[in-house]
Amino acid sequence: MIDFIHEFYQQHTIWVLPLLIFLARILDVSIGTLRIVFLNRGLRFLAPFCGFFEILIWLIALNRLMGDLTSWVYYVSYAGGFAAGTYIGIMIESRLAMGVLSVMIVTQKDAAGLLQKLRKEHFGITQVGAQGVQGKVRLIYLIIRRKDLPRIAEILRTHQPGAFSVVNDVRDVGGGVFPMNSGKFGYARGLLGGVRKGK
């Protein structure tokens, strides 16, 4: 079996090696993207774990590339794998939907319906009155889990379609009110140190 694999590799090196370099780059760049995400989320144990495999795979791919500097196909596969790995890493991060976000909503309209819906969905709300360029506005602040962002967007489209909103990443928070029906609290409890009612 080993002899067959070796013979196959020798006969098809012209396309097998570029394919392996391409796949290796996808893997290590995807892991690198997740490592950065974990660093930003303060996950100190997962980030070094990802870093180890990221650099190991990168060194293997680079070693194979340096073995034949005259082949432009290797360079194309190396660069193509980097681009594809970046895209895949971003897709994986969006699927994981890890972390906590702060949402600020600014509206000039009556926000009673919006506030009632957010409370019904068990989101913690802080609202204040403010003065904007065009007159009085209402500021609504929320701290939500990233996976709840599509729900907030849908609520805004339905109850306050013209509202201005800003979303930012939050690294650390303490306490807060989070929807009970949006899933288990496992990750939120570990990140937030427990959930308390307030606001």
- What is the tens place of the pLDDT at every residue in 116-153? 888 888 888 888 888 878 788 889 898 888 888 889 99
Question: Which CATH number belongs to the domain containing residue 113 in this structure?
Answer: 3.30.70.120
* Domain housing 139: 100-192
Instruction: Establish if 198 belongs to a structural domain.
Output: no
Residue 38 tokens read as 């974990």
Both 113 and 61 in one domain: the answer is no
Is 197 a member of any domain? no
Whole-structure pTM over 0.75, yes or no?
A: no
Work out how many domains the chain is built from and give that number: 2
Last residue of a domain, one of 36, 61, 96: 96
Residues 105, 186, single domain; the answer is: yes
Q: Where are the alpha helices (DSSP H) in the chain?
A: 2-11, 13-40, 46-66, 72-96, 112-120, 149-159, 186-192
Q: What is the pLDDT of residue 74?
A: 78
Q: Is residue 121 part of a domain?
A: yes
- In this prediction, residue 196 carries a pLDDT of 36
Could you tell me the two tokens for 91? Answer: 């897709």
Q: Which segments in the chain show pLDDT lower than 70?
A: 1-15, 64-70, 97, 171-199
Among 46, 69, 96, residue at a domain's last position:
96
Together in a domain, 74 and 107: no
pLDDT of 84 reads: 92
CA dihedral 172, 176, 181, 182 (to 10 degrees): -20
Q: Are 170 and 147 in contact (CB under 8 A)?
A: no
At residue 180, the 3 state secondary structure works out as helix
Does residue 67 sit in the same domain as residue 109? no
In a domain, 23, yes or no: yes
The strand pairing partners of 129, in sequence order, are 138
Tell whether 118 and 67 lie within a shared domain. Answer: no
